Amino acid sequence: MKLNINGKPVEVAAEPDMPLLWALRDVLGMTGTKFGCGASFCGACTVQLDGEPIRSCQTPVSAVGTGKITTIEGLSASAWGRKLQDAWVALDVPQCGYCQAGQLLAAEALLRTTPKPSDADIDAAMSGNLCRCATYTRIRAAIKQAAVS
C-alpha cells in the first residue's frame, strides 16, 4: 500500500484495516505519533490528513488513500509548525512531553485557519487533546506567542 507521508511517497506493508497509528509506529518506525487511549478520548495520536487533524488510532490505513498525511516528524515543513515548535521550546511547554506531538498537530491546524485565535478558539480546537501533566496554561500561551511571531 502506498501512502503520502510528510510529502513523500511511502510503501507500507500493512493489513488494510490496521490503524494508521500502528502503521506509522510499528511498521514504519515513525514513533513520534503516540498511542494513548485507542478510542479518540486523548488525542495523543493526532496527525493531519490533508491538513485536518485526525485520530490516527481510529483511521485504517486503507481509508487514507491518496490523502497527504502530516506527522510530528514533518511538522517543521510548515511555517506555522516551526513557529509553534519554537514557542513550545522557548516557553518550556512540555513536562513529560508525551501528548505534545498531538497538541502541536492540532495547534498547527488551528493557526492555519485562525491565525489570531481567541481563548474560545483555542478551547474549541484544543480540548480534544489531553495533557495528563496539565500543561494547558503554557500550551495556550505558546499558541498565542506563535500567532504573533
Partner 1 sequence: MKASRREVLKAAALAGGGLSLGWQLSGAKASVPGALSAFVIIGADGSIRITAHQPEIGQGVKTSFPMMIAEELDVDWNQVTVEQAPGNRAVYGVQLAGGSSATPTQFERMRRLGASARAMLIAAAAKAWNVPAAEITTGSAMLHHKASGRSARYAEMAEAAASVTPPKPESLALKDPAQFKILGRRIPGVDNRKVVTGAPLFGIDARPPGLMYAAFAKSPVFGGKLKSANKAAALAVPGVKALFDIAERRDLKTEIDVGLPGIEVLPQGIAVIATNSWAALRGRDALAAEWEGGDAAFQSSEAWEAAATRAWADGAQKPAYINHGDAPAKMAGATRRVKADYRYPFLSHAALEPINATAHVKDGKAELWLSTQTPEDARRMVALALGIKVEDVTLHLMRSGGGFGRRLMNDFAVEAAVIAKAAGVPVKLQWDRGQDFAHDWLRPAGWHRLEAGLDANGNIIAWHDHFVSFGKDGVLNPTAVIDASLFPSGVIRDYRADLTVLPFASTLGWLRAPINNAFGFVTQGFIDECAAAVGRDPLEYRRTLLGTPRAIPIAEEFSGETKQDAKGTPYNTGRMRGVLDKAAAMAGWGRKLPARRGMGIAFHFSHLGYFANVVEASVAADGSVTVHGIWVAADIGKHIVNLSGAENQVQGSVIDALGAAMGQRISFADGAVEQKNYGDFPLARMNEAPPVEVAFLSTDYPTTGLGEPAYPSVAPALAAAIFQATGKRLRQLPFDTELLKA
The helix (H) or strand (E) run that includes residue 69 is strand 68-70
Q: Is 59 in the site for partner 1 (CB under 8 A)?
A: no
* Whole-number Cα distances in Å, 86 to 7, 11, 60, 123, 143: 22, 31, 32, 21, 10
* Among 48-56, 62-70, 110-118, 135-143, the segment contacting partner 1 (CB under 8 A): 135-143
CA dihedral 108, 132, 44, 52 (to 10 degrees): -30
- Smallest separation, CB 136 to partner 1 (Å): 4
As a whole number of angstroms, the distance between CA 58 and CA 29 comes to 19
Dig out the grid coordinates for 10 from the structure: 511511502
- Smallest separation, CB 88 to partner 1 (Å): 5
Residue carrying C-alpha cell 496554561: 137
As a whole number of angstroms, the distance between CA 114 and CA 58 comes to 26
- Touching partner 1, residues 89-108 (CB under 8 A): 89-101, 104
Pick the binder of partner 1 from 112, 133, 144, 145 (CB under 8 A).
133
- Smallest separation, CB 49 to partner 1 (Å): 17
Contact map string, positions 24 to 53, toward partner 1, x by CB under 8 A: -xxx-xxxxxxxxxxx-xx-x---------
As a whole number of angstroms, the distance between CA 118 and CA 96 comes to 27
Binding site for partner 1 (CB under 8 A): 14-15, 18-19, 21-22, 25-27, 29-39, 41-42, 44, 71-73, 75-76, 84-85, 88-101, 104, 122-124, 126-140
